[in-house]
Structure 1
Amino acid sequence: MDIVEHPDGRQGGAAGADGPAVELVYQNTVADFAGALRARAARTGAARRKKWLFSFTGTLSLIGGAALLAGNEPDVGRAVAFLVGGVLLWVIGPLGPRLQARALRGLLEKTGETRAVIDGTGVRLTATACDTRIGWSAQPTYAETDELFVMLSEDKRAVAMTVLPKRGAGSPADIDRLRAILDANLRRL
């Protein structure tokens, strides 16, 4: 593996097919995964349908609860159940990514510092207890947010994803190089 000297003195990974590798060093956070899940939800069909279904079902439940209260013989118990269910569906929808990410908190703490080396052949992630290589064909699409790059699989539910926080880059130029590598090898959503 060829070592690339960064302008700030750090040494990075091997040069790949698209030029020098980009190295990110970061600690994964709940906020990173919540942002990645939101990005996935905004860009995948299954996630958009799920969001629509939660909103639609929540609205129907609220209408049903109101109708039960407005009838000649109001059924308060059932109406309250419908109203509470509708409110929960409306609240859980937007909070879903944050709640899912919080469920990963323990795993994220065990992972420790993560080093990602991205080059023309794919992504290599090294953390406390793992060393993983992800080829471009495994996650052929990506999304970008203000804080992250999120690589996604193309399966219907886009279950597999790789989170690459921009704060792990050594410089803004590294972020631009990373974007260029991703654009050369993946389809941007």
Structure 2
Amino acid sequence: MHMDEVEPAAAAGAGEGVELVYEVTTADLTQAIRVRTRATPALRRQRWLMPLLGGLSALLGGSALLSGQPAGSKAVMFLGAGLLLCGLSIFGPRLQARAFAGMLAKAGQTRTVVDGSGISVTTQRYSSRMHWTAQPVYAETDDVFVTLDIAKRAASMTVLPKRGVRHPEDVDRLRALLDANLERI
């Protein structure tokens, strides 16, 4: 299917839909990963646990080095592991998003229609249709809407960049559709 063709089934739905046309960027995905980390219980624990363990490890390693204890290699290992954990807690979402850069480039332009029955996503490589129950919650940042499945260990999310709407008032219409069908977090 070409990007400018519209499937009647995808365009149909309860209420008038909002169409977005965009290419997902690593910045969009970074925001979505941060939202998912705050929203998912297991990832929320990881969000505070990694810096805590990293800080403790760096503190142990640093204090062992400063005290001049003979086991210097273990102290360096603790210090390095601590700094790594702290760095991952800060830069992890950006690194994860960059890991998907190749896949995002291959997907190319994305056309998404959000209507009363759910979300239809079409790229150059795939097409999918999700009902509201597949990702029952959403969050909003300054630049994107993110729909999520926050069930235990779920990784399912859809990124809807606001720059993809055709008209500025469509952002409000999209928010209204999401509010009517999903729980806002």
Contact 1:46 1:157 in 2 (8 A): yes
Gap change, CA 1:124 and 1:72, over 3 Å in 2 = closer
Quick one: which of 48, 70, 78 aligns to 2:74? 78
Q: Unpaired segments of 5 or more residues in structure 2?
A: 1-9
Contact 1:16 1:120 in 2 (8 A): yes
Partners of 1:160 and 1:88 lie apart in 2 by 27
Count of paired positions: 176
Contact 1:65 1:80 in 2 (8 A): yes
2:127 is equivalent to residue 146 of structure 1: no
Partners of 2:180 and 2:134 lie apart in 1 by 15
4+ long deviations beyond 6 Å: none
Equivalent residue of 2:11, what SS?
A: coil
2:11 is equivalent to residue 14 of structure 1: yes
Equivalent residue of 1:137, what SS?
A: helix
Superposition deviation, residue 74 in structure 1: 3.8
Contact 1:40 1:158 in 2 (8 A): no
Quick one: which of 57, 60, 63 aligns to 1:61? 57
Partners of 2:91 and 2:62 lie apart in 1 by 24
Aligned residue in 2 for 1:40: 36
Q: Scaled by the length of structure 1, what TM-score is found? A: 0.88
- What amino acid is the match of 2:13? G
Matches within 5 A, 1:1-189: 14=11, 16-17=13-14, 19-71=15-67, 73-189=69-185
Structure whose residues are more often helix by fraction: 2
Identity of aligned residues (%): 52
Gap change, CA 1:178 and 1:49, over 3 Å in 2 = same
CA displacement, residues 160-186 of structure 1 (integer Å, 9 cap, x when unaligned): 000110000011210100000000000
Superposition deviation, residue 71 in structure 1: 4.5
Equivalent residue of 2:158, what SS?
A: strand
Contact 1:60 1:86 in 2 (8 A): yes
CA displacement, residues 135-180 of structure 1 (integer Å, 9 cap, x when unaligned): 1000000010000000001321230000110000011210100000
- What amino acid is the match of 1:117? V
Superposition deviation, residue 121 in structure 1: 0.2
Equivalent residue of 1:25, what SS?
A: strand
Q: Scaled by the length of structure 2, what TM-score is found? A: 0.90
